[in-house]
């Protein structure tokens, strides 16, 4: 073994269009620490960085062994949930669906909720009692049980990695919260009558598509955006699409009698996720009138081609902003007598359309396995169910009854 390998292991990790060298320092036990980025693309420079890092530890009055033994939670968890971190790489190797958005969310929990309390605590001094007190204090802040459990999960993950590297002798047992703790209740839904009244409003004024032929993207979008928001909300109501799935729909997603749902638009990073939230592709039947409305949007869009977004914006590489769809929904809820306070109390959001469709189909006696196949829910007992669109004739009847009764489009 070369001299440097006795102290650390160095290897390249490909990031985008270049390779960055990462360093793992060797513990007294022979195991390695979590990988640190040297920021260098040259191996020799990365080795120099590693030696400089070890020297800097000595300059601060302790050797590397002592530093590693007394490593704090803040030092060990720095960059832990980054998209190019060792943790993320491990999850990808295991086949987990790790997205940039998930990494950002976990990093946010770490930075805003965990680090302010745990930063200077030595890893081996973190006890079950300390974590329990931390959990209870979060509950006193009024945080929901499910949100607290996400925070606790992040702590557990970091400590498990620390255990793998002999920085802690064991991971303290972490007792989770009840999911019902500080719960605000289930997300609200509109009644069928409220939905019919909502979609009859003038917000759905159908544009004169002939007048828009050849117009500039900004002109087309300004003229059609309210109608576009109307169709987007209606589509979510009749298909149960998540907002990200709806925004990701492209011209090639629209088929005869159904839509192909295989991707999701990341509204935080403004990029396309390669899969849906669950990683599963779905084929969802749509009524003829909705299909015609979608085809009209595609025909009037200033951006053509199979990859063009159905719910377009003024830019060819971005769909309409999800916030606009939500704001337009809220504006029209006011017009049917649902005030802002009532909307908040009833917890009505764009995501409520999924719950509305779920409830509607169950009330119409649609088999539960078909409901799951449409809205994309999954259970441990049912890993995957595929139903051809022709098997969804009963679902299509429910969709059409809503449109035909209300005269929505």
pTM of the full structure: 0.69
CA distance 284 to 291: 12
CATH code of the domain containing 126: 1.10.150.130
Domain check: are 133 and 260 in the same one?
no
Structure tokens at 295: 């085809």
CA distance 240 to 230: 15
Give the model confidence (pLDDT) of 237-253 as tens digits.
999 999 999 999 999 99
Domain check: are 161 and 245 in the same one?
no
Domain check: are 322 and 256 in the same one?
yes
Q: Is residue 357 part of a domain?
A: yes
**Residue 339 confidence class, pLDDT cut points 50, 70, 90:** very high
Q: Is residue 264 part of a domain?
A: yes
Phi, psi of 341 (to 5 degrees): -65, -40
Q: Which residue among 127, 150, 183 closes a domain? A: 183
Give the model confidence (pLDDT) of 202-216 as tens digits.
776 677 878 787 788
Q: Which residue among 140, 164, 183 closes a domain? A: 183
Domain check: are 171 and 213 in the same one?
no
Domain check: are 248 and 344 in the same one?
yes
Cβ proximity of 101 and 269 under 8 Å: yes
Domain check: are 200 and 151 in the same one?
no
Domain check: are 352 and 392 in the same one?
yes
Q: Is residue 15 part of a domain?
A: no
Cβ proximity of 312 and 221 under 8 Å: yes
CATH code of the domain containing 274: 1.10.443.10
Domain check: are 162 and 237 in the same one?
no
Please report how the helices 217-239 and 393-406 are oriented relative to each other, as an axis angle in degrees rounded to 10.
120
Domain check: are 172 and 202 in the same one?
no
Q: Is residue 266 part of a domain?
A: yes
Domain check: are 153 and 257 in the same one?
no
Number of domains in the chain: 2
Q: Is residue 28 part of a domain?
A: no
Measured CA angle at 112 (ends 106, 116), to 5 deg: 125
Asked if residue 386 has pLDDT above 60, the reply is no
Q: Is residue 35 part of a domain?
A: no
Asked if residue 78 has pLDDT above 70, the reply is yes
Q: Which residue among 159, 183, 207 closes a domain? A: 183
Domain check: are 307 and 402 in the same one?
yes
CA distance 384 to 326: 31
Domain check: are 161 and 212 in the same one?
no
65-69, 197-201, 275-279: range with lowest mean pLDDT: 65-69
Q: Is residue 88 part of a domain?
A: no
**Which has more confidence, 400 or 17?**
400
Percent of the chain with pLDDT over 90: 47
What residue spans of 27-177 are helical by DSSP H?
43-59, 64-69, 73-77, 86-93, 100-109, 115-118, 128-140, 145-164
Asked if residue 139 has pLDDT above 60, the reply is yes
Q: Can you give the residue range of the structural domain that contains 124?
A: 100-183
Q: Is residue 48 part of a domain?
A: no
């Amino acid at each position: 073994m070369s001299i440097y390998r006795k102290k650390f292991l160095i290897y390249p990790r490909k990031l985008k269009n270049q390779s960055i060298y990462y360093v793992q320092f060797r513990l007294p036990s022979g195991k390695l620490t979590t990988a640190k980025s040297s920021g260098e693309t040259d191996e020799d420079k990365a080795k120099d960085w590693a030696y400089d890092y070890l020297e800097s530890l000595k300059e601060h009055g302790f050797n590397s062994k002592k530093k590693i033994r007394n490593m704090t939670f803040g030092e060990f968890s720095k960059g832990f949930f980054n998209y190019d971190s060792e943790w993320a790489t491990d999850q990808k190797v295991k086949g987990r669906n790790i997205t940039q958005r998930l990494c950002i969310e976990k990093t946010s929990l770490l930075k805003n909720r965990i680090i302010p309390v745990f930063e200077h605590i030595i890893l081996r001094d973190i006890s079950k009692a300390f974590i329990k007190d931390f959990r209870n204090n979060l509950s006193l802040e009024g945080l929901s049980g499910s949100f607290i459990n996400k925070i606790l999960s992040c702590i557990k993950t970091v400590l498990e990695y620390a255990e793998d590297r002999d920085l802690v002798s064991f991971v303290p047992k972490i007792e989770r919260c009840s999911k019902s703790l500080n719960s605000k209740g289930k997300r609200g839904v509109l009644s069928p009558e409220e939905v019919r009244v909502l979609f009859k409003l003038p917000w759905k004024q159908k544009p004169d598509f002939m007048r828009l032929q050849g117009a500039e993207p900004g002109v087309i979008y300004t003229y059609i955006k309210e109608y576009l928001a109307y169709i987007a909300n209606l589509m979510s109501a009749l298909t149960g699409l998540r907002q990200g799935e709806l925004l990701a729909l492209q011209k090639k997603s629209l088929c005869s009698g159904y839509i192909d749902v295989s991707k999701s638009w990341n509204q935080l990073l403004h990029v396309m996720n390669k899969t849906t939230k669950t990683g599963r592709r779905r084929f969802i039947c749509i009524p003829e009138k909705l299909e015609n409305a979608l085809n009209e949007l595609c025909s009037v869009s200033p951006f053509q081609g199979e990859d063009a977004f159905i719910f377009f914006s003024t830019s060819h590489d971005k769909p309409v902003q999800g916030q606009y769809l939500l704001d337009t929904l809220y504006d029209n809820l006011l017009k049917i007598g649902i005030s802002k306070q009532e909307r908040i109390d009833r917890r009505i959001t764009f995501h409520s359309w999924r719950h509305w469709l779920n409830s509607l189909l169950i009330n119409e006696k649609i088999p539960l396995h078909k409901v799951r196949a449409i809205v994309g829910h999954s259970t441990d007992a049912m890993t995957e169910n595929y139903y051809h669109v022709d098997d969804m004739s009963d679902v299509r009847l429910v969709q059409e009854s809503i449109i035909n009764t209300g005269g929505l489009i």
